[in-house]
Amino acid sequence: MEPKKIVDRIERLKREKNAIILAHNYERPEVVDIADVVGGSASLTRAALDTSADMIIVCGVDFMAETVAVLNPDKKVIMPDRGAVCPMAQQLFAEDLLEAKKKNPDAEVLLYMNTYAKAKTLADCVCTSGNALRIAEKMDGGSPIIFGPDRGLSYYVSKRTTKEIITIPEYGYCPVHHQIALEDLLKAKKEHPGVKVVGHPECTPEVQDQMDYIGSTSGIVAYCRDADEAEFLVAAEVGLMHMLKKEAPDKTFYPVSNTTVCTLMKMPTLMKVEEALEKEKQRIVVPKEIAAEARRPIERMLELSL
């Protein structure tokens, strides 16, 4: 079927079912273009809390859909493709977290949003890439803070806070952002001398150390849109290029590496979105007792990030 016809059917189904579509900044351009809300983890969490829709289609990875379900236990939360499983969220095991808590009984637990609801039940607070530093600073339990599972974001926070950060697991990482090698970045800088480097904190420490601005996906878009400069080198997943061009059409963006693709974020297609709206399969349901406990650290994040 032609894309225009699919888009028309999506619009009609959305109206009939009082549904909205949330899409992460890394989704396919054609999915981003039909979404009601596009953003990073923080914006999608806020949108999930504010909506009066009866059905929420989440074009993102599994932990994002779970978070939406935790905040909306009475709504239909549907993923167009449940195969979109984030490997980073799978790296944090409850046993490791419990052991770290046992070893550090006075520590508070701050978990990255890229975790499952069950792990979130063990957290004092959660954070996104955009508010991790602010939250770590504002948490009132002092130091140390147990943080997981991304060692890139942990490095970013540790470098900027006096609090002690204990990272679990020691080697948690995003396989996509870790594809951006220091060599790629140095080569790109040579090809575009003087151009500012922006990037995501899930990148490796040595790549982060070369950046002029480090932020969440939405933070990078806002920074580039509002900056005086007209050109940027981008160290992030290439899907962000679409949002960058949309928000700052007169500026030029050079991806540090064209092969930095999160294939999981690309799983929802227009046809799958239409099918999700029509058939209502692949529903995300979080058991009530887990949802109630996982909601607490998410709400604390929203309080502390103000």
Q: Which residues are at the interface with ligand SF4 (CB under 6 A)?
A: 61, 86-88, 114, 174-177, 202, 237, 262, 264-265
Nearest-approach distance from CB 114 to ligand SF4, in angstroms: 5
Nearest-approach distance from CB 178 to ligand SF4, in angstroms: 9
Contact 256, 234 (CB under 8 A): yes
The sign of the dihedral angle between the CA atoms of 275, 85, 210, 127 is positive
> Residues for the chain: how many in total?
306
| 204 near ligand 13P, judged by CB under 6 A | no
Closer Cβ to ligand SF4, 96 or 150, answer by number: 150
Q: Which does 87 bind (CB under 5 to 8 A by kind): ligand 13P, ligand SF4, none?
A: ligand SF4
Closer Cβ to ligand 13P, 126 or 195, answer by number: 126
Nearest-approach distance from CB 63 to ligand 13P, in angstroms: 8
Q: Find, among 135, 95, 111, 105, the residue nearest to 63 by Cα.
A: 111
Closer Cβ to ligand 13P, 57 or 220, answer by number: 220
Q: Which does 217 bind (CB under 5 to 8 A by kind): ligand SF4, ligand 13P, none?
A: ligand 13P
Which residues, 168 to 187, sit near ligand 13P by CB under 6 A? Answer: 174
**Under 8 Å CB-to-CB from 19, ≥6 apart: which residues?**
13, 53, 54, 55, 56, 57, 277
Closer Cβ to ligand 13P, 160 or 281, answer by number: 160
Contact 274, 10 (CB under 8 A): yes
Closer Cβ to ligand 13P, 13 or 56, answer by number: 56
Using DSSP's 3-state secondary structure scheme, residue 247 falls into helix
* Rg for the chain, CA atoms, rounded: 19
Contact 31, 45 (CB under 8 A): no
Q: Which does 264 bind (CB under 5 to 8 A by kind): ligand 13P, ligand SF4, none?
A: ligand SF4
E strand spans, 229-274: 231-235, 252-255
| 154 near ligand 13P, judged by CB under 6 A | no
Q: Which does 25 bind (CB under 5 to 8 A by kind): ligand 13P, ligand SF4, none?
A: ligand 13P
Kindly report the CA angle at 189 between 183 and 192, in degrees rounded to 5?
A: 145
Closer Cβ to ligand SF4, 6 or 61, answer by number: 61
Q: Which does 129 bind (CB under 5 to 8 A by kind): ligand SF4, ligand 13P, none?
A: ligand 13P
Instruction: Name the β-bridge partners of 283.
Output: 78
Q: For the window 129-148, what string marks contact with ligand 13P as x by the rule CB under 6 A? A: x-------------------
| 216 near ligand 13P, judged by CB under 6 A | yes
Q: How far apart are CA 285 and CA 276, in angstroms?
A: 15
> Shortest Cβ contact with ligand 13P: which residue?
40
Q: Which does 40 bind (CB under 5 to 8 A by kind): ligand 13P, ligand SF4, none?
A: ligand 13P
Nearest-approach distance from CB 237 to ligand 13P, in angstroms: 6
Contact 77, 65 (CB under 8 A): yes
Number of Cβ within a 10 Å radius of residue 31: 27
Q: SS3 sequence, 104-149?
A: CCCCEEEEECCCCHHHHCCCCEEECCCCHHHHHHHCCCCCCEEEEC
Residues that bind ligand 13P (CB under 6 A): 25, 40-41, 114, 128-129, 174, 202, 216-217
